[in-house]
Structure 1
Amino acid sequence: MAEELQHLIERIQKEAVDTGEKQAATLVSQAKEKAAAIVKDAEDKARAFLQKAERDAEAFTERSTKTLSQAARDLLITVGEGVSNILSELVANSVDKALDAQVLQKMLVKMVESYAAKGGSETRLEVLISPEDQKQLADFFNEQYNQKLKNGVEIRTDKNIIKGFRVGFANGQVYHDFTKDAIAEALSNFLRPQLAEIVHRAAKEDQAPGSSKK
């Protein structure tokens, strides 16, 4: 009887131990699964965060690059316009100084002589000048060329002309413009492409790898 009781106690203890081990194993397995799920979720979130950070960084870099490029273009345009305006002003001032009465006389002399040499003496030539230059140029041409041209040279003033002259036939249909504004504009238009090339070349040199500003 005592042996049977002892055997029963041992069996109960063994079953309790087996049950405890199974429950412990189940708990450990569940804990491992939960831990793995937590780790995976954390890794997924970290990966998503890194991907978003990379996309944001790329977008920021792209926006920054576009902004800098646009700013550089705007700066070059502003500088180009500023230099172009300075160039136009310099050209206008240079033309203004160059077109004195003596230079105008020489220009008109060459034109009138060419006109007369090509048989244009039958038509009266009309020269429009500024009121400022009227006296000196009118006296000069009346004295020198009215005899050479059958119908002479008509000198008239135009208040819209500051420097230089316009010349054409008296019927007013054709005029050649040699005013200060026309000459300055022609020179500026001639120089602007070269100026643009200089600015463009300077920009390329500034952006070249290894370039540095002192």
Structure 2
Amino acid sequence: MNSIKDLTDQLFQEGVEKGRKEAQQLIDEAGTKKSELIAAAQKEAAQIVDAAKKQAQELEKNTKAELQLFANQSLEALKSEIVNLLSDKVVRDAVKKSIEDKAFMQELMLRFVKHWAENGELEIQTEDAKALTAFFKSKAADLMDKGLNIKQVNNLNTNFVLAAKDGSYKIQFGEEEFTNYFKEFLRPQLVEMLF
């Protein structure tokens, strides 16, 4: 009987030992799987972070480029509006005064008809062009010395003032006016970029 008991004990011990080995093997495999899963998750997380960083850098670069473009566009629009206002006012005032000067109008008409009859075209002579340029320069300077209010640029309401200051001309505006002006240039592209 002893031999059956010994045999049973031996079988039991072998079964327990085999169970322990299999359990340890499962634990080891689970540990390896866990390490592999953690490594894969960390790698994927790093890739996601890298992609997000690249996307953020690209967005920042594009935003800076867009802001520079909009700043240039708004500056060019403002310059254009100043030129338009000055030339419009100078020409309007000059034409009004010229029309009122009957002797000047008669001389102009006489030249016009004479040149047209001779050449089929009207030509401003060099000396006349220089005088005309000097006239426009002086009138533009007079207007800017008095101050020029810029109410609208590219159909955007503004409240800018171009005035003489310290021997040159300065554009004066409040922070709110400039912010609103600049936002109007940015708004369409920002809406497109965001939505």
Q: TM (normalized to structure 1)?
A: 0.53
What is the match of residue 112 of structure 2?
Answer: 159
Identity, % of aligned positions: 17
**Aligned with 1:159: secondary structure?**
helix
Output the aligned Cα RMSD: 3.9
Letter aligned with residue 4 of structure 1? S
Q: Does 1:5 align with 2:33?
A: no
Match of 2:135 among 159, 183, 189: 183
How far apart are 1:101 and its partner, in Å? 4.1
2:19 matches 1:20? yes
Q: Give TM-score scaled by structure 2 length.
A: 0.58
Cα distance, 1:174–1:5 mapped onto 2, change above 3 Å: closer
Q: 1:198 matched to which residue of 2?
A: 170
Q: Quick one: higher RCO (CA 8 Å, sep 6+), 1 or 2?
A: 1
Q: 1:10 to 1:51 in 2, by over 3 A?
A: same
Measured in 2, the distance between the counterparts of 1:21 and 1:133 equals: 122
Aligned length: 146
Mark the runs of 5 or more structure 1 residues left unpaired by the alignment.
Answer: 103-128, 136-155, 161-172
| Deviation of the 1:56 alpha carbon | 0.2
Instruction: Provide the C-alpha distance between the structure 2 equivalents of 1:60 and 1:83, rounded to a whole number of angstroms.
Output: 34
Which structure 2 residues correspond to residues 37-48 of structure 1 after superposition, within 5 A?
Answer: 37-48=36-47
**1:189 to 1:36, Cα distance in 2 relative to 1, 3 A:** farther
Secondary structure of the residue that 1:198 maps to in structure 2?
strand
User: Which has the greater radius of gyration?
Assistant: 1
Change (3 A) 1:63 1:72: same
Instruction: Give 1 or 2: higher helix fraction.
Output: 2
Distance 1:56 1:71, change over 3 A: same
SS at match of 2:112: coil
TM alignment of 1:140-155, pairs within 5 A? none
Q: Is the 8 A contact 1:96 1:180 kept in 2?
A: no
CA distance in 1 between counterparts of 2:140 and 2:4 reads 122
What letter is aligned with 1:55? K
| SS of residue paired to 1:158 | helix
Shift of 1:16: 1.4
| Shift in CA distance, 174/36, structure 1 to aligned 2, threshold 3 Å | closer
The runs of 5 or more residues in structure 2 that have no matched partner are: 114-124, 148-161, 163-167, 181-195
